[in-house]
A and B are shown apart, each in its own frame.
Chain A
Amino acid sequence: AQSVTQLDSQVPVFEEAPVELRCNYSSSVSVYLFWYVQYPNQGLQLLLKYLSGSTLVESINGFEAEFNKSQTSFHLRKPSVHISDTAEYFCAVTRRYGGSQGNLIFGKGTKLSVKP
């Protein structure tokens, strides 16, 4: 079975500072990886995904994540955060080939709080 660990439950940071939200996964098989974002009082939105190809994936709002197979990590980074990035971020994993195990497993989330 797959599992996801988000090492930080809360990350406070000042506006325009860089940020890294950490995600490690565990799986005995190949996986796909995702980051979702949940803004206050809103639903979950897909931020970015790694399916294949380049291990560095980017979102339209400046976030990027790098798949590192040897370290089983998929950390999310942004070089300069804005107040509007304040949200909860969830890392998720699914098997590349599912059969009866196609479910999407989430970490417990990291609350990013950007302060002026």
Chain B
Amino acid sequence: GAGVSQSPSNKVTEKGKDVELRCDPISGHTALYWYRQSLGQGLEFLIYFQGNSAPDKSGLPSDRFSAERTGGSVSTLTIQRTQQEDSAVYLCASGPKENTEAFFGQGTRLTVV
């Protein structure tokens, strides 16, 4: 596709359920980033992939959060046992290589009720 695609665009889930958020990066981009955007909090870095490996997982808030990337392409962010404080917009971005600009998807708005 022409841009970064994220699905679903909106997700409402009950507290305690697991959710999976998907990111399809721009074809050929080796770098992939996940961020979380909460009201008034700016962009919180979660995790960064170079190819299929994650050199920097330092931003994952807790062990309920995990992410993987397969085939150097699609990435999935999984949140287990969701809590209300997990409600936010989750943004994915990809870049042609590390240490350069990234291009963002439209995000997944997660609401935990």
Contact = CB atoms under 8 A, between A and B. Distances in A.
Contacts of A94: 98-100
A34 to B, nearest CB: 6
Contacts of B33: 103-104
B26 interface: no
Interface residues of A, number: 27
Interface of A is mostly: loop
Contacts of A99: 55
B62 interface: no
Contacts of B98: 94, 98, 102
Nearest to B33: A104
A115 interface: no
Which among A44, A45, A90 has the greatest number of chain B C-beta atoms within 10 A? A44
B101 interface: yes
B42 A44 contact: no
Interface in A38-74: 42-46, 49, 51
Interface of A: 32, 34, 36, 42-46, 49, 51, 90, 94-109
